Protein backbone atom coordinates (compact mmCIF):
# COMPACT_ATOMS: atom_id res chain seq x y z
CA UNK A 1 0.00 0.00 0.00
CA UNK A 2 1.43 3.35 -1.09
CA UNK A 3 0.39 5.22 2.06
CA UNK A 4 2.36 2.83 4.28
CA UNK A 5 5.44 3.19 2.07
CA UNK A 6 5.17 6.97 2.19
CA UNK A 7 4.74 6.93 5.97
CA UNK A 8 7.87 4.80 6.29
CA UNK A 9 9.79 7.16 3.99
CA UNK A 10 8.69 10.13 6.10
CA UNK A 11 9.93 8.33 9.20
CA UNK A 12 13.27 7.59 7.50
CA UNK A 13 13.64 11.13 6.16
CA UNK A 14 12.98 12.67 9.56
CA UNK A 15 14.80 9.98 11.51
CA UNK A 16 18.02 10.02 9.47
CA UNK A 17 19.29 13.27 11.10
CA UNK A 18 18.69 11.77 14.56
CA UNK A 19 20.58 8.60 13.65
CA UNK A 20 23.38 10.67 12.06
CA UNK A 21 23.73 12.60 15.33
CA UNK A 22 23.81 9.32 17.27
CA UNK A 23 26.61 8.03 15.03
CA UNK A 24 28.68 11.18 14.58
CA UNK A 25 27.77 13.18 17.72
CA UNK A 26 29.22 16.70 17.28
CA UNK A 27 31.30 15.87 14.20
CA UNK A 28 30.08 17.54 11.02
CA UNK A 29 27.42 19.53 12.89
CA UNK A 30 27.69 22.66 10.79
CA UNK A 31 24.44 24.63 11.18
CA UNK A 32 22.37 25.09 8.02
CA UNK A 33 21.91 28.78 8.85
CA UNK A 34 25.69 29.29 9.37
CA UNK A 35 24.89 31.03 12.67
CA UNK A 36 22.89 33.88 11.12
CA UNK A 37 20.90 35.91 13.64
CA UNK A 38 17.91 37.96 12.49
CA UNK A 39 16.89 41.41 13.69
CA UNK A 40 14.73 39.88 16.43
CA UNK A 41 17.95 38.52 18.00
CA UNK A 42 17.06 34.88 17.34
CA UNK A 43 18.90 32.56 15.00
CA UNK A 44 17.42 31.94 11.57
CA UNK A 45 16.91 28.21 12.34
CA UNK A 46 19.18 27.34 15.26
CA UNK A 47 22.18 25.09 15.89
CA UNK A 48 20.21 21.82 15.85
CA UNK A 49 19.52 22.09 12.09
CA UNK A 50 22.73 20.82 10.53
CA UNK A 51 24.11 19.96 7.15
CA UNK A 52 24.99 16.55 8.61
CA UNK A 53 21.31 15.80 9.28
CA UNK A 54 20.04 17.16 5.97
CA UNK A 55 22.70 15.23 4.06
CA UNK A 56 21.89 12.01 5.90
CA UNK A 57 18.23 12.41 5.04
CA UNK A 58 18.70 13.10 1.32
CA UNK A 59 21.22 10.26 0.96
CA UNK A 60 19.42 7.54 2.92
CA UNK A 61 15.77 8.16 2.01
CA UNK A 62 16.19 7.60 -1.76
CA UNK A 63 17.95 4.28 -1.05
CA UNK A 64 15.08 3.16 1.18
CA UNK A 65 12.57 4.32 -1.45
CA UNK A 66 14.25 2.15 -4.08
CA UNK A 67 14.19 -0.84 -1.70
CA UNK A 68 10.40 -0.39 -1.54
CA UNK A 69 10.04 -0.27 -5.34
CA UNK A 70 9.61 3.49 -5.42
CA UNK A 71 11.88 5.77 -7.42
CA UNK A 72 14.98 7.35 -5.94
CA UNK A 73 13.51 10.68 -7.04
CA UNK A 74 10.42 10.14 -4.85
CA UNK A 75 12.70 9.37 -1.91
CA UNK A 76 14.85 12.40 -2.61
CA UNK A 77 11.84 14.73 -2.87
CA UNK A 78 10.36 13.37 0.35
CA UNK A 79 13.68 13.86 2.16
CA UNK A 80 14.32 17.34 0.77
CA UNK A 81 10.79 18.53 1.51
CA UNK A 82 10.81 16.95 4.97
CA UNK A 83 14.00 18.88 5.72
CA UNK A 84 12.43 22.05 4.27
CA UNK A 85 9.36 21.51 6.47
CA UNK A 86 11.61 21.00 9.48
CA UNK A 87 13.46 24.25 8.70
CA UNK A 88 10.13 26.05 8.33
CA UNK A 89 9.11 24.75 11.76
CA UNK A 90 12.39 25.91 13.28
CA UNK A 91 12.08 29.32 11.65
CA UNK A 92 8.55 29.72 13.06
CA UNK A 93 9.60 28.49 16.51
CA UNK A 94 12.47 30.99 16.67
CA UNK A 95 10.06 33.82 15.73
CA UNK A 96 7.68 32.62 18.47
CA UNK A 97 10.52 32.73 21.00
CA UNK A 98 10.79 28.96 21.39
CA UNK A 99 14.40 27.97 21.94
CA UNK A 100 16.29 25.57 19.68
CA UNK A 101 15.07 22.01 20.27
CA UNK A 102 12.13 23.38 22.28
CA UNK A 103 8.84 21.56 21.88
CA UNK A 104 5.91 22.88 19.84
CA UNK A 105 3.32 20.14 19.43
CA UNK A 106 2.00 20.07 15.87
CA UNK A 107 4.50 22.58 14.58
CA UNK A 108 7.23 20.00 15.15
CA UNK A 109 5.45 17.25 13.20
CA UNK A 110 3.04 18.60 10.59
CA UNK A 111 5.23 20.68 8.22
CA UNK A 112 7.87 17.94 7.93
CA UNK A 113 5.22 15.39 6.93
CA UNK A 114 2.64 17.49 5.09
CA UNK A 115 5.00 19.44 2.80
CA UNK A 116 6.57 16.33 1.21
CA UNK A 117 3.15 14.78 0.62
CA UNK A 118 1.83 17.94 -1.01
CA UNK A 119 4.84 18.09 -3.35
CA UNK A 120 4.48 14.45 -4.48
CA UNK A 121 0.66 14.49 -4.53
CA UNK A 122 0.32 14.63 -8.31
CA UNK A 123 3.27 12.40 -9.25
CA UNK A 124 2.17 9.65 -6.84
CA UNK A 125 -1.56 10.09 -7.47
CA UNK A 126 -2.32 10.85 -3.82
CA UNK A 127 -5.84 11.76 -2.81
CA UNK A 128 -6.45 14.37 -0.12
CA UNK A 129 -7.74 11.74 2.32
CA UNK A 130 -4.47 9.82 1.92
CA UNK A 131 -2.47 12.96 2.64
CA UNK A 132 -4.50 13.65 5.78
CA UNK A 133 -4.23 10.02 6.91
CA UNK A 134 -0.45 9.78 6.41
CA UNK A 135 0.13 13.15 8.08
CA UNK A 136 -2.01 12.12 11.07
CA UNK A 137 -0.26 8.75 11.36
CA UNK A 138 3.13 10.45 11.17
CA UNK A 139 2.08 12.83 13.95
CA UNK A 140 0.95 9.95 16.18
CA UNK A 141 4.05 7.85 15.49
CA UNK A 142 6.40 10.77 16.01
CA UNK A 143 5.00 11.74 19.41
CA UNK A 144 4.79 8.06 20.44
CA UNK A 145 8.27 7.01 19.34
CA UNK A 146 10.24 10.06 20.48
CA UNK A 147 10.14 9.18 24.21
CA UNK A 148 11.20 5.61 23.42
CA UNK A 149 14.13 6.80 21.31
CA UNK A 150 15.10 9.17 24.13
CA UNK A 151 15.13 6.31 26.65
CA UNK A 152 17.30 4.32 24.24
CA UNK A 153 19.77 7.23 24.09
CA UNK A 154 19.13 7.89 20.39
CA UNK A 155 17.32 11.22 20.83
CA UNK A 156 18.60 14.12 22.94
CA UNK A 157 15.11 15.01 24.22
CA UNK A 158 11.96 12.96 24.82
CA UNK A 159 9.99 14.95 22.21
Start-to-end CA span in the chain (Å): 29
Confidence (pLDDT) at 153:
83
Distances (CA, A) of 8 to 27, 44, 99: 27, 29, 29
Per-residue pLDDT tens over the stretch 112-153: 999 999 999 999 999 999 999 999 999 999 999 989 988 988
Phi, psi of 138 (to 5 degrees): -60, -45
Whether residue 146 contacts residue 158, with contact meaning beta carbons closer than 8 Å, is answered with: yes
Q: CB 77: neighbour CB atoms within 10 A?
A: 22
Confidence (pLDDT) at 99:
85
Confidence (pLDDT) at 102:
85
Quote the strand ranges of 5-156, DSSP E. none
Q: Where are the domains of the chain?
A: 2-151
pLDDT lower than 50: segments of the chain: none
Amino acid sequence: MLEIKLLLLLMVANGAPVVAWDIFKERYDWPVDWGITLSDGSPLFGPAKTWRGATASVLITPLVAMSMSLTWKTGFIIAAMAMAGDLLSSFCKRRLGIQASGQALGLDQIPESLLPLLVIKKSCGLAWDSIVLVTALFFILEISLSPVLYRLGIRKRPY
